[in-house]
Structure 1
Amino acid sequence: MGFYKKTLEEQKYSIIPSQLLKPDEIFILVETLYELPITGKQIRQQVDGIRIGQARTGAQRETFVELPAKAASSKVMLELKEIVSTQS
C-alpha cells in the first residue's frame, strides 16, 4: 500500500493524465504477476503466506474487554459513538 500511495503521489504531477494508474488496473497487474511461468506460483504463495501471517498477528493483538452496562451511556462512550458514526 505504501508503494501504491507513493506512486499515486508521484503520478499527480505526471504530464499525461491518461498514464495514471487506476485501482482496477492494479488487480489485473497482480494477476499477471501471479501467472508468470517461472516465478508466478512462488510469488502467489509468498503473498498468501504474508496475508495469513498478518491475519494471525492481528488476531493475537485483539483484546476483548467486558464493560459494565452503565459504560454505554458514559460521556466518553457517547463521544466515541458519535465519532464512529460520522466516519462511516
Structure 2
Amino acid sequence: MRATTLLNRVLDLPKTMVGACPHCDFRTRHRYDTPMVDSAWRHLDLSGRVCVLKLRRRRLRCPEHGVLAESVPFARPGSGFT
C-alpha cells in the first residue's frame, strides 16, 4: 500500500474532484487558475510527529462571489479550527 493511500485512510480525507465555492453551493469542473502557492493546515499529530496537510488549491469563478479559492471539506472560511 502506498504511503499516500494509507494517510488518506487514516486521516479520512475524501477525494476532491470538483471545485466548490466556500460561500455557496456552486460547483464547477472548470478552474480560473492554479496559484503556485500551497495552502497548509496543521492536523492532529500522529505518534508524536507533526502532521501538516498541504494542498495547491485551484481558484474558481463563482457567479455570485467572483474569483476565490475552492473550498476543502476540512476547513471553513474564517474558522480558527481545521
TM over 0.5: no
TM-score normalized with structure 2 length: 0.19
Rg larger in 1 or in 2? Answer: 1
Question: Which is richer in strand?
Answer: 2
Question: Which is richer in helix?
Answer: 1
TM-score normalized with structure 1 length: 0.18
Q: Which has the higher contact order (CA 8 A, sep 6+)?
A: 2
